[in-house]
């Protein structure tokens, strides 16, 4: 009987799901704003970069995404790979602008004086909605988050028309206007009268317009291109991309990806280019210029940091590293943490884990809020066969990952390390 009960409870344990730590898909924070200009309550969705809490001194460009509820997941997923993982562009804050149903959405996207598609009796209210963005949404974001002075307005289709009209109405409200397959055709291309007058005057400060088109006809985009080409405005840096193999719906992500790479051109230096750079000083100067031009302050791409530290070892100038690190702290402060981690990594590889640990522990207090920094301390203890302290630091990193609502892959990595160093994970 006892054997039977023992077997029963063993089987029950095996088939009963075990409680594990899991991260929900981070879709950001849903925020309600009472708009004075629209006289109604509106919602926005704000998603911060995954490393936002780990890089306390960093500032971030902000993408204001029209029709946010429709495209938010696709865009945020793409940006996670572009910025966080591939580091093709800097990390960004995404602000998805919610709509309130198709008819209201179209009305707010339609320029004043025009009528929304299939709704002839209602005049467009784009001017009011633009005021809502510039006078209420942007100030809220700038006050509550570490937003850089680099705002990008993105819209597709009827929202692409809204973005183009926003440029004509208020060219200084955003640094970049991304208009994807805009509905220039609306009301028999009525927007073109305003566009011609605006482009001819050319009295605003320099700004950027990114236009794109899929396999569509009669959108009216080529009329805008003709104007820009004929008048040769000095204050609109414009770019056009045609995607004949993409349809009206599929072109959005493809075009935005290309536009963002153009906006942040120079942020990622290719491996081939890095191989030709012999001086770490060159890299610092390059990213000082890039950061200044983008009005941002955040860690530079990891491959660049690796190339900079590697150059000292390749040229056998490791004695110059302390002076270089002091310069990094002054001239690229947001990147100091990442440089220290890379310095420790090379020191451990070329010397011993003990020297790497000494480098990391020296700045532990300043970067104790960083998951990556704690993971590197833990990993170094692991190399030194000190499983107790390795477990301690991996556990600290896990607590931060949960607190920051990190992606599941991050939690999986840390949990696997905890299991390896202790034989079990702390639940």
pLDDT in the model for residue 423 = 62
Torsion angle defined by CA atoms of residues 144, 77, 86 and 357, in that order, rounded to the nearest 10 degrees: 60
Q: Which residues pair with 29 in a beta bridge?
A: 46
Contacts of residue 407, Cβ cutoff 8 Å, sequence gap at least 6: 23, 26, 50, 80
What is the DSSP track for 241-297?
EE-TTS-TTTHHHHHHHHHHHHHTTTSSPPHHHHHH---HHHHHHHHHHHHHHHT-B
pLDDT in the model for residue 25 = 61
Burial degree of 142 (CB within 10 A; 0-12, 13-18, 19+): middle
- Name the DSSP letter for residue 59: B
Contacts of residue 149, Cβ cutoff 8 Å, sequence gap at least 6: 175, 295
Strands 207-213 and 236-242: parallel
pLDDT in the model for residue 63 = 98
* Nearest-angstrom CA–CA distance, 156 and 134: 19
pLDDT in the model for residue 278 = 72
SS3 call for 94:
strand
* Nearest-angstrom CA–CA distance, 275 and 273: 5
* Nearest-angstrom CA–CA distance, 67 and 109: 10
Supply 149's token pair.
């002075």
* Nearest-angstrom CA–CA distance, 298 and 60: 7
- Compute mean pLDDT per 10 residues along the chain, 427 residues long, and list them: 47 43 70 96 96 94 96 95 95 95 91 85 91 98 97 97 98 98 96 96 94 94 96 94 96 98 95 83 92 96 94 90 94 95 93 93 97 97 93 97 92 95 59
Q: Which of 213, 221, 210, 222 is nearest to 245 (CA)?
A: 213
Q: pTM score, two decimals?
A: 0.91
- Show contacts of 345-350: CB within 8 Å, 24+ apart: 345/309, 345/376, 346/309, 346/310, 346/313, 348/380, 348/383, 350/313, 350/318
- Token look-up 């990594």 returns 345
pLDDT in the model for residue 339 = 97
Q: Which residues pair with 217 in a beta bridge?
A: none
């Amino acid at each position: 009987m006892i054997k039977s009960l023992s077997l029963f409870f063993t089987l029950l344990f095996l088939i009963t799901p075990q409680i594990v730590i899991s991260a929900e898909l981070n879709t950001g924070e849903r925020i309600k704003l009472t708009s004075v200009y629209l006289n109604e309550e509106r919602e926005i969705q704000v998603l911060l970069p995954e490393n936002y809490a780990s890089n306390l001194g960093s500032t971030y460009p902000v993408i204001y995404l029209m029709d946010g509820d429709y495209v938010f997941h696709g865009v945020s997923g793409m940006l996670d790979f572009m910025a966080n993982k591939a580091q093709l562009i800097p990390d960004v804050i995404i602000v998805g602008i919610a709509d309130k149903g198709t008819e209201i959405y179209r009305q707010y996207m339609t320029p004043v004086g025009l009528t929304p598609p299939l709704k002839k009796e209602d005049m467009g209210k784009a001017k009011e909605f633009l005021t809502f963005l510039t006078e209420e949404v942007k100030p809220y974001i700038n006050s509550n988050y570490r937003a850089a002075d680099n705002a990008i307005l993105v819209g597709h289709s009827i929202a692409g028309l809204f973005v183009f009209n926003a440029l004509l109405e208020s060219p200084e409200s955003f640094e970049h206007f991304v208009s994807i397959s805009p509905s220039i055709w609306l009301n028999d291309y009525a927007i073109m009268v305003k566009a011609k007058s605006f482009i001819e005057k050319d009295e605003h400060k320099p700004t950027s317009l990114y236009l794109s088109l899929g396999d569509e006809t009669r959108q009216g985009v080529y009329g805008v291109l003709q104007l820009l080409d004929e008048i040769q405005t000095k204050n609109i840096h414009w770019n056009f991309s045609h995607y004949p193999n993409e349809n009206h719906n599929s072109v959005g992500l493809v075009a935005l990806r290309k536009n963002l790479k153009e906006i942040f051109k120079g942020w990622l230096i290719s491996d081939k280019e890095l191989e030709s750079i012999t001086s770490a000083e060159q890299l610092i100067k390059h990213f000082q210029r890039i950061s200044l031009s983008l009005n941002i302050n955040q860690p530079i791409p990891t491959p660049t940091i690796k190339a900079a530290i590697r150059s000292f070892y390749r040229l056998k100038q490791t004695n110059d590293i302390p002076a270089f690190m002091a310069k990094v702290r002054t001239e690229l402060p947001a990147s100091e943490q990442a440089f220290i981690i890379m310095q420790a990594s090379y020191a451990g590889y070329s010397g011993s884990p003990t020297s790497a640990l000494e480098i990391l522990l020296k700045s532990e207090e300043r970067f104790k809020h960083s998951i990556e920094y704690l993971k590197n301390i833990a990993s170094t203890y692991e190399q030194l066969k000190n499983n107790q302290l390795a477990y301690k630091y991996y556990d600290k990193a896990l607590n931060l990952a949960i607190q920051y609502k990190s992606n599941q892959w991050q939690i999986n990595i840390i949990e696997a390390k905890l299991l390896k160093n202790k034989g079990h994970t702390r639940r």
